[in-house]
Homo-oligomer: A and B are copies of this chain.
Amino acid sequence: MDTTVVSARRKIEIYRANVGNGGLDNCPIRTVVQNISGKWSALLLMALAERPYRFGELRRLVPDISQRMLTQTLRDLQRDGYVNREVFPTKPPSVEYSLTDLGRSMYDSIEHLFHWAENNHQQVRAARVEFDAAGD
């Protein structure tokens, strides 16, 4: 057995054991990844990594998100501790969302993936076209 592979295998075994116990909520990676892998999470994290935004600003920034999903995605990110929600007593009251330290720390890691995506999206797109063509 290759040693470079042992740690990944162990993670999976731990995962399996947890599933066997009926509690897959103990798989660390899924605990975290499931909640930032929503359709809109990455986009919102990207925006908030730039600077704090108000609700309406985010809505205008990502025009194809529904208000419902914007509310819900922000609340999920807040629940996991990535995003801070602050209400300002203006009239009408405004709400500002910003990254927490935890969120910023996580963003530093997910940013690698974003950079990869920027640099390699043509290849992905090409693969997709080829696959679809072969499927005819």
Contact = CB atoms under 8 A, between A and B. Distances in A.
B12 A117 contact: no
Interface in A77-136: 78-81, 102, 105-106, 108-110, 112-118, 120-121, 123-128, 130-132
Contacts of A130: 81
Chain A interface size, under 10 / 10 to 19 / 20 to 34 / 35 or more: 35 or more
A69 interface: no
Number of copies: 2
Contact of A29 (B12, B114, B132): B114
20 contacts: A5-B50, A11-B46, A12-B46, A12-B61, A15-B43, A24-B64, A28-B117, A28-B121, A29-B121, A32-B113, A32-B117, A33-B113, A37-B38, A37-B39, A79-B128, A102-B124, A105-B120, A110-B112, A110-B113, A110-B116
Interface of A: 5, 8-9, 11-12, 15-16, 19, 24, 28-35, 37-39, 41-43, 46-47, 49-51, 61, 63-64, 78-81, 102, 105-106, 108-110, 112-118, 120-121, 123-128, 130-132
